[in-house]
Amino acid sequence: MKQSIGAKPLAFPTPAWVVGTYDMNGKPNAMTAAWGGICCSNPPCISVSLRKATYTYAGIMENRAFTISIPSEAYVKQADHFGITSGRDEDKFEATCLTPVRSELVPAPYVGEFPVVLECKLLHTLEIGLHTLFVGEILDIKADESVLDENGNPNIEKIRPVIYNPGSRDYYGVGCSLGKAFSIGKEC
């Protein structure tokens, strides 16, 4: 029997990503975001939603660009830190001892220590309510060699990305393989 639990921003899974921007003085900043996802295959695009009050919102509007850095489990504390403080008050890269790397494709920094990063050019801005949805075209993905498989594709078991659970506001890792997509459903 299903129970109504009300109108809430809950879904499972949601990601734990870090959005990188420069501020108006060129200082690198980054913040954690869980409201986002891939939103188009061609051109490849990703969406991320931010509150207007964030310093990152201003950074995206200033530069029309952002990066998404995908943390591995090993950096879950640092990823969380990027979501606690504001870049107005603190240099978060300095606080976390992580390295802001300047993208060669867009005016935005990414987290050098995270295994996978997406370099995005702002394509669309959609005002929804408390959050603004930004659509970024993925101009390139860069990944550590250590997380690539033999065909040069990023391997989720090596990346070990972080899942955000908005139900109880905690983080999870990725578990076991459940089978091949576009395949196991043929048996139904």
Q: Which is nearer to its own copies, 58 or 111 (CB)?
A: 111
Minimum CB distance to its own copies, residue 24 (Å): 25
Q: Provide CB contacts within 8 A for 99, sequence distance 6+.
A: 93, 111, 112, 113
Q: Which is nearer to its own copies, 25 or 183 (CB)?
A: 183
| Helix or strand run (H / E) with residue 74 | none
Minimum CB distance to its own copies, residue 71 (Å): 10
Nearest residue to 172 via CA among 99, 100, 71, 85? 71
Q: Which amino acid is at 89?
A: D
Nearest residue to 67 via CA among 31, 16, 94? 31
Q: Which is nearer to its own copies, 65 or 159 (CB)?
A: 159
Q: Which is nearer to its own copies, 25 or 129 (CB)?
A: 129
Q: Which is nearer to its own copies, 25 or 169 (CB)?
A: 169
Return the residue matching tokens 């997509």.
Answer: 181
**75: which DSSP letter?**
G
Distance in Å from the first CA to the final CA of the chain: 24
Minimum CB distance to its own copies, residue 55 (Å): 16
Minimum CB distance to its own copies, residue 86 (Å): 13
Q: State the maximum Cα–Cα separation within the chain, in Å, rounded to a whole number.
A: 57
Q: Which amino acid is at 148?
A: L
State both tokens at 96: 């976390």
State both tokens at 169: 């506001």
Q: How many residues does the chain have?
A: 188
Minimum CB distance to its own copies, residue 167 (Å): 5
